[in-house]
Amino acid sequence: MHGYVRRVVTGHDENGRAIVVSDGPAPKVHTSPLRPGHYSTDLWRTNESPARVSRRYAEPTEGPRKIVANPNGTIVRISSVPPDPDFSTMDAEKARKVFEALGNPDASTFGQNRRHPYMHRTESIDYAIILEGEMYCVLDDTEVLLKAGDVLIQCGTNHAWSNRSDKPCKVAFILIDGKFDPDLAAQFGAQP
């Protein structure tokens, strides 16, 4: 099954002893016909910091797909990024629709910087851990190749993920809600 990730969740019984609450496929797998071969599995979301530690949890990945965490929240996600398609027919509106399907049409910056159609900026700190394969992190004026075992810390930068190999790249993302410093917010036209 594409996008399958086994998720084991621990918790506490009525006596406070550690138990396995659930063990099986993570229920939130996102695909889009606008990005064939791309699978994104949300494993867990938190909506506050510090995160509430409770005896039992309601399923935290319910609801619409989000590209970024809620205010003061986090998302843990594993994605399979296919090799880049032919982008020759991609324009800013089509790129915006790709991000709309991901849950955040306003993240797309391809209309501002035509470096890569999947260029986007999020007000977050994101940890990207390459599990299998390789992928480029494309920035405004440079790029860096990441291979299995590499970790990139993305600090609210304008970026895209570009897979130029011939096989999918599997990457774990830990997305943490952030807030731009006022000077950066002013440069991006964002609210400080």
pLDDT number for residue 3: 67
Structure tokens at 37: 């071969």
Distance of alpha carbon 59 from alpha carbon 160, whole angstroms: 30
Write the single-letter amino acid at 115. R
- Position 2 confidence tier, pLDDT thresholds 50, 70, 90: low
Would you say residue 41 has pLDDT above 90?
Answer: yes
pLDDT number for residue 191: 55
pLDDT per residue as tens digits for the range 79-94:
999 999 888 888 888 8
Task: Say what the pTM is.
Answer: 0.88
pLDDT number for residue 97: 87
> What element of type H or E holds 127?
strand 124-132
Residue 64 near residue 102 (C-beta atoms within 8 A): no
Q: Is the Cα dihedral 28, 63, 97, 180 positive or negative?
A: negative
pLDDT number for residue 4: 82
pLDDT per residue as tens digits for the range 106-160:
888 887 878 888 999 889 999 999 999 999 999 999 999 999 999 999 999 999 9
* Domains, the chain, with CATH or none: 28-188 (2.60.120.10)
Residue 48 vs residues 27, 69, 70, 181: alpha-carbon distances, Å: 22, 10, 8, 20
Would you say residue 192 has pLDDT above 60?
Answer: no
Residue 126, classified by CB atoms within 10 Å of its CB into exposed (0-12), middle (13-18) or buried (19+), is buried
More confident residue, 4 or 40: 40
